[in-house]
Chains A and B, each alone.
Chain A
């Protein structure tokens, strides 16, 4: 009986030792920097992408959107691998808290929000939204040049993978630290 109990414990410990499979992020190319660039530390590694801004909305001239895009490498076709961005960013120098709700809602539409998407060109592979348990998720607008049509700033944000995505095994959490960007208006 003692032997059986011992075997059961061993089997259990072997199961517990199995590591959850985690896929690496895609190898990416930062893309053309014609409309801006972004640098950050993503989960401890350098991350770079191209940036662009979307200002001058006639319906909401006091807010803008900032988009970051990274591409699959060695691609002659510029196939998009990652899209990341902030929407509803006030067009004014300041420090702004990112809306933390995990659930998309009418309140979310009116807030400063962010979304990180792993893609294959136009197909969504998985999405990440701000971690509601991280109060420090912020974007800083440091400079606005209305003549050149550029906006510069920083960000620090932790995101969680879409809980409905059980298919992919990309990391459940992404932390962007020391993010800096300059984005020019994309016409």
Chain B
């Protein structure tokens, strides 16, 4: 079995935050992690509060952040456990937008699912805050500070799918309760329920992160130029999803003055199904400019959207984004044309147990003739994680046993794509801690 390298593990950590951004409609923000082994004397004996105080005042850390790595924020990942916390962070204040709040500590054992402590602490540094006193639930009002923090930047607790759900900044206790990989956002649903709320006590951390991402990214100018494509990872969505015009944006992180890759930039947009671009095929060129509007579905199932950017000083750099189109109406029609098989009247779809620790059963009833359906499991970013191939679907009750044990905790969609009917069933993977 191939072991995960430290670089690979850090990439997983990075992705956990970026997936949360994607899930929460924070379209043009990304984090990039660089890691270094750092073992200061104070890390071994300190409480987590003292560790943060030391880390914050450590001049070596300042030098690493400002000079060696040119990093905007510093996270100390501690191998220790602490009696009262999995992490600790400063919090960015509206009235104090300087760089004084740029340090956090995370205990190694709680960085990813089910608590998502790394994303939690990191985005405190972007101003995201816990849920309101009335929504915790507990008596955590501490007037006058509670009332003074009357911004939109709060986590959210709500009920969906017969379970209590908590966004990344909702407070949970120490007994391993889980959070969903979402920042609160009244405009984004989870299992049909909004993940935030407007009103007197708003919960809209996604908005604060959108607002503070740019000023925080300006703490330290990067020496590298980097391009990203922002926009939805899948077109259409749901069953028989209708396509609507979709805009994608080219986001370019400028390097510090004096480094190659200076603006202005010229951006060209390309697409194809292979992901390999030679810039020779004119039918792959979609257009130029800082954004592109897709007016139809370029290809079924998947295609790669690509930008090629030229800086003023002649440097070329690129970015690609894989986009899932498998649920678009146009693509379903294409399948019907190709087959005469029937699978009709799918109903009474049940997924149990849900959440699952690995194995789960999808049960559904069909009234049509036997058919084989394409079954695959995707993560919320639209990537196919398991392709189970074709399975025979009988008339009557069908039960299919599936297993997600090799996947990380999170929300997944199980897709059944038959000739005429298809459906998607959400399932939450919550593996217990080892």
Contact = CB atoms under 8 A, between A and B. Distances in A.
B95 interface: yes
Interface string B38-55: 001110111101101110
Interface in B365-412: none
Contact of B95 (A63, A72, A167): A167
A78 to B, nearest CB: 6
B211 interface: no
Q: Which of A85, A122, A168 has the most CB of B within 10 A?
A: A122
Contact of A60 (B45, B86, B120): B45
Query: What's the interface size class on A, roughly?
Result: 35 or more
A12 B138 CA distance: 45
A160 to B, nearest CB: 14
A22 B171 CA distance: 28
Contacts of A123: 88-91, 124, 129-130
Nearest to A118: B142
B49 A117 contact: yes
A109 B144 CA distance: 34
B145 interface: yes
A76 interface: yes
B139 A74 contact: yes
A108 to B, nearest CB: 8
Contact of A65 (B46, B89, B140): B46
Contact of B88 (A54, A109, A122): A122
Nearest to B84: A69
Residue among A35, A85, A103 facing the most chain B CB atoms (10 A cut-off)? A85
Given A123-B91, A167-B93, A78 B140 contact: no
Contacts of B87: 122
Contacts of A122: 85-89, 120-121, 124
Nearest to B124: A123
Given A57-B44, A76-B173, A122-B121, A85 B49 contact: yes
Interface string A101-121: 001110001100101010111
B266 interface: no
Contacts of B40: 109
Interface in A83-133: 83, 85, 87-88, 103-105, 109-110, 113, 115, 117, 119-125, 127
Nearest to A80: B84
Given A67-B84, A124-B90, A79 B171 contact: yes
Contacts of B263: none
Nearest to B172: A77
A69 to B, nearest CB: 5
A47 interface: no
A119 B138 CA distance: 15
- B interface SS class: loop
B295 interface: no
Interface string B110-146: 0000000000110010000110000011111010110
A10 to B, nearest CB: 30
A150 to B, nearest CB: 15
Contacts of B52: 124
Given A104-B57, A113-B50, A121 B130 contact: yes
A137 interface: no
A51 to B, nearest CB: 10
A10 B148 CA distance: 33
A87 B139 CA distance: 30
A11 to B, nearest CB: 28
Contacts of A77: 136, 138, 171-173
B84 A83 contact: yes
B121 A23 contact: no
Interface in B25-71: 40-42, 44-47, 49-50, 52-54, 57
Given A52-B83, A80-B84, A120 B142 contact: yes
A81 B84 CA distance: 11
18 contacts: A63-B45, A65-B50, A67-B83, A67-B84, A74-B138, A76-B173, A77-B136, A77-B138, A80-B84, A81-B142, A85-B50, A103-B57, A113-B50, A122-B85, A122-B120, A123-B89, A124-B90, A167-B96
Given A115-B50, A124-B52, 15 more contacts: A57-B44, A57-B45, A60-B45, A72-B139, A76-B137, A77-B136, A87-B47, A117-B49, A119-B49, A120-B130, A121-B85, A121-B130, A123-B91, A167-B96, A186-B83
